[in-house]
Amino acid sequence: MAVVNHVARQRIKLLLIFIIFAAPIVTAWGMVEWRIGVPDETTAHGSPTDQVPSFELWPIAPMSDAPVSEGRWILAFDCSLQCPERRDLLWRMHRALGRDANRLTRMSIGGEGEPLPGEALVAWRETPRWSQPNKVWLIDPEGRPALAFSASVPAADILDDTQHLFKVNAR
């Protein structure tokens, strides 16, 4: 009887080991299949920029002496409507990046007035068909547009997306 009891105990231990290793897989499958416990929120407030060409192909001409820095992310803003207010919000957003602020260059396309600190002023040579008033684009250091933000997206959401991209794209 002691031998049967010992064998049964060993089988129960083996079964428990299988359950322990299979439980996370079964749980994950259930979460994916029935959408239980999966958040519905989106993390990106901007939209991907499929129709926007590489930054080198943008039809822009410099208006100020501040160059757009190579090897940095670029926050380009089509300054057509509510330009001073939006430029100020984007400047404050840039400062809110803290120690990562040096990874970003701001660029205002169009508009009037003096550039804010750390901002380059440029103008469209010709307005491209993919441009929209008050649109903001976040361009990676290699010149590829990463995200586009419509005029309705608050600067705090642009800051969230920028911080996330900086986090997942180490220097």
**Are 62 and 111 found together in one domain?**
yes
**Are 80 and 163 found together in one domain?**
yes
Report the DSSP beta bridge partners of residue 76: 107, 137
Q: What is the DSSP string of 55-66?
A: GGG--EEE-SS-
**Are 156 and 85 found together in one domain?**
yes
Q: What pTM was estimated for this model as a whole?
A: 0.72
**Are 69 and 107 found together in one domain?**
yes
Residue 48: pLDDT band with limits 50, 70, 90: confident
**Are 63 and 110 found together in one domain?**
yes
* pLDDT above 70 (res 95): yes
Counted domains in the chain = 2
| Rounded Cα distance, 171 and 167, in Å | 9
Instruction: Give the distance, in angstroms, between the CA of residue 65 and the centroid of all CA atoms in the same chain.
Output: 28
For the beta sheet containing 136-139, the strands, ordered from the edge strand earlier in sequence to the opposite edge, are 47-48, 145-149, 136-139, 73-78, 104-109, 119-124, 60-62
* pLDDT above 70 (res 2): no
Q: What is the mean pLDDT of the chain?
A: 86
Count of residues in the chain: 171
**Are 51 and 84 found together in one domain?**
yes
**Are 29 and 64 found together in one domain?**
no
Average pLDDT on 18-37 reads 90
Q: Which domain holds residue 21?
A: 1-40
**Are 152 and 69 found together in one domain?**
yes
**Are 158 and 106 found together in one domain?**
yes
Q: Outline where the chain has alpha helix (H).
A: 2-34, 83-96, 155-168
The pLDDT value given to residue 98: 92
- Tokens 């995200």 belong to 147
Q: Provide the token pair at 115.
A: 């550039």
* pLDDT above 90 (res 50): no
Write the CATH number for 113.
Answer: 3.40.30.10
**Nearest CA-CA partner of 33 in 25, 21, 42:** 25
122 close to 144: Cβ distance less than 8 angstroms:
no
| Rounded Cα distance, 21 and 42, in Å | 31
| Rounded Cα distance, 116 and 119, in Å | 5
* pLDDT above 90 (res 51): no
The pLDDT value given to residue 151: 87
Q: Provide the token pair at 133.
A: 């008033």
